[in-house]
Chain A
Amino acid sequence: MQKKIIEIIVFFLIIFFIGVFFIGLNKSSIYDTNNLAGQKLTNINLKHFSENKLISEKDLKEKNFTLINFWASWCAPCREEHPFLLKLKEQKNIKLIGVNFKDNKNNALNFIKNFGDPYDDIARDEFGKQSVNFGIYGIPESILINKELIIIKKFIGPLSNEDFNFIKRKVNQL
């Protein structure tokens, strides 16, 4: 009897593990970012990249919209989306904040130097701890918020032309 119970538990555990892996595998593609939309960002506490200060809620309210972009020099898709960020910089109503994620400071500086600096402010999250508060798992990811710190949309993966147009439309609606 005892053996039977152990067998059932083991099989259950295996199915559970495999099931989680299976859902996890499809998760990134079915990950529903809509439920994040409408939520308010709280407890913002980001260390500035080069200055000894914190980026707080006040900094996110300077313009009508803010795009928080999580990036690193070692992340290849970040290079892919970089031209879109540079183009977004030309928009008036949006502030761009880059969060440098688990990166080497020198490499990050060189990345900006080589590919251009689209950001109004850069924060540094050396160990990826603050980014977890934003629900960041991998990079690149970006969060578009309004002046009330309400999330309008979260972009997983590199920004595409479609995403760029969406942000542009949203920003110019006012």
Chain B
Amino acid sequence: MLSNLGNTILFINIFLGFVIIYLSFQNIKSKNYVINKNVYQLCLLQSTFIIVSFLILITAFVISDFSLISVYQNSHSLKPLFYKISGSWGNHEGSLLLWVIILTIFSFLFLLLNKDHPHNYRAYTLISQNILIIGFLSFTLFNSNPFSSISPIPKEGLGLNPILQDPALAIHPPLLYIGFVGSSIYFSAAIASMLTNYSGRLFARSIKNWVLISWFFQTVGILAGSIWAYYELGWGGFWFWDPVENASLLPWFAMTALIHSLIVLEKRSVFYFWVIILCILTFVLSVTGTFLVRSGILNSVHSFANDPSRGIYILIFLSLLIFVSVFILFRKFKTINYDLNVNSRETFILINNWFMIFYLVTVLLGTVYPIFTEVLINQKVSVGPPFYNTVIIPVVVIFLIFMSVGPKVKWIKDKFRNLNVLFKILLFSILINLLIVYVFKSYSLISNFIIISSIFLIISSLIDLYKNSKNRDGSKSRILSHLSFGFLVFFIGLNHNFSYEKDFNLKLGEKKFFDNYSLEFKDLQLEEFQNYKSVIGEFKIHNTNRNLEKFLYPEIRIYENPSTLTYEASIRTGLFKDYYLTMSNIDRSDYYNIKFQKKPFMMMIWISVIFVSLGGLIRVFKNAKKNY
């Protein structure tokens, strides 16, 4: 029943998409300068239907309706309610429906909230967005249907991969999707802008908030994924340069570049075509990421189940997307000589964009390089963290310096008047770094540069904040993001250099001494939970220097559906350091292998990212207050 209902709604929504496109064209042709009321109503109906279809899918998961293949494959009647719900988007088919929901809702909201802009620009945006909606709905319906039924109906489901049963991962896909699927709306707006010649300042205003919203969600989505990797994978790291992680980072770079270029377009009416290129690039990269992850062309720890037919569909869609948008761009493109002054805010923002594009190209190349070598020279290679770290990290130093200096420079033209202050900040940063090295320990030359440049950015931003404390022009949100980014790099640098790891075997009742710590294996319990059994160890960690004691409880979980073992790290999170303990049993022995890690400033890293993203969100609210 739910299967039929879901399918019917998806069909209706495809039909509604065509009707909206037709009516929008009629609207453009007519001399009526407002969008027809029917279009609003149809968009509302379309959004309501798609939400209802998703609620139907969630209901199927909640009531464990195994007549649906996606429920059968990804759920189990014994699963906790929360994971039954999150299971609905924790698989390829359901997550694709989530894609379409975001496309549809953003389409409706853009129409609703941009009433001050010309009707033909809004109508073309709606047309472009509905073409995307129809494309993805057809893909969902004909290739990856979450409402496909199975007969005979199985009595029990196969269960959701236990490693995915985690709160951070449950919210990670929706956040990330709002981010990169949200970019579809400014892709559509960019196409509409070119078709209607609606360019410059007002166009920038019409998409600014949408870019900020998608950037905010993309940032927190990536954060949720990192937190999950840190807590769940049990390796103590938080970024692995895995192709799937990279796929989420690529649109983020493009969005970040876009946010900055939009400021220039709004203030100075320059970089219009560059903004258009970035709008297109962001969404194209989002679809490319989806293609890379879903098609199985790349192997990754957490890619979706592979199916080449999905890949072909997304690839055809991606090709059409690129060809149509690039074709329109070339038809409309005009060469404009901007004549920028070297020492101007515009130039610095342009430099920011070059950096972003450099990072983007590096990560893109690293991600797709194995595909190219395999196809072109039949050689299989693996691009790992050493490549990214070697290419990206040194450039971060220069990037941070520009990021510190840029916001202080005036629009159009400035004098080199801040050099003295900057030199003092630099000296002060070097001094702080020396102090860290002197008091704690020395680290590599590149780490020194990273720490110095991050402190440089932090101090510059703090000075900026002080100077702008009475300013109400919205610069504080920018300063907050920049300041937090400085802290983020600073804490990652310290975390990298001051992390500590110890690996040993212990049996119950034993105590191990190392450096200024002792670790005692105090207890071992077997507990039964709703959907798994758990062997829980109790460990006492004692810091002999400070006479501090903490208890840690690592687990070995035994899941039944599907039958899997997972190792849950026990993490004592503090503001300034985390103690991280994993335990695993050793074959034919009473001993357990214990991995102890001290990870400084993990919490500060998460907090920094939250504040980086909050800067964007605050700016959205400020803009909303100004009514654009």
- Give chain A's interface residues, CB within 8 Å of chain B: 3, 7, 10-11, 14, 18, 20-29, 74, 104-107, 109-110, 112-114, 127-129, 131-132, 135-139
Contacts and interface: CB of A to CB of B under 8 A. Distances in A.
Given A107-B567, A129-B382, A24 B299 contact: no
Given A21-B297, A22-B312, A24-B374, 8 more contacts: A3-B330, A20-B375, A23-B375, A24-B371, A109-B593, A132-B381, A137-B299, A139-B299
Contacts of B319: 14, 18
A121 B296 CA distance: 31
Contact of B374 (A22, A27, A110, A113): A27
Contacts of A104: 234-235
B587 interface: yes
Interface stretch (B111-119, B401-409, B522-530, B578-586): B578-586
B296 A20 contact: no
B28 interface: no
B384 interface: yes
B595 A14 contact: no
A-B complex: 5 closest residue pairs judged by Cβ atoms:
A138-B299, A106-B584, A137-B380, A113-B587, A24-B371
B372 A135 contact: no
Interface residues of B, number: 41
B149 to A, nearest CB: 25
Contacts of A112: 587
28 contacts: A11-B326, A14-B319, A18-B318, A18-B319, A20-B376, A21-B315, A22-B315, A24-B371, A25-B308, A26-B308, A27-B375, A28-B297, A105-B593, A106-B567, A106-B584, A107-B234, A109-B584, A109-B586, A113-B587, A128-B382, A128-B384, A132-B380, A132-B381, A135-B379, A136-B380, A137-B299, A137-B370, A137-B382
Contacts of B368: 20
Contacts of A110: 565, 567, 584-585
Interface of B: 234-235, 291, 295-297, 299, 301, 308, 311-312, 315, 318-319, 322-323, 326, 330, 333, 335, 368, 370-372, 374-376, 379-382, 384, 565, 567, 582, 584-587, 593, 595
Contacts of B295: 25
A106 B595 contact: yes
A10 B319 CA distance: 13
Contact of A21 (B371, B380, B587): B371
A114 B565 contact: yes
A11 B329 CA distance: 12
B326 A10 contact: yes
B297 to A, nearest CB: 5
Given A3-B335, A21-B315, A25-B295, A113 B585 contact: yes
Contacts of B330: 3, 7, 10
Contacts of B384: 127-129
B382 A25 contact: no
Q: Which of B291, B382, B582 has the most CB of A within 10 A?
A: B382
A22 B375 CA distance: 10
Nearest to A2: B335
Contacts of B374: 24, 27, 137
Contacts of A22: 312, 315
Contacts of B593: 105-106, 109
Nearest to B311: A25
Contact of A74 (B301, B318, B586, B595): B301
A127 B296 CA distance: 21
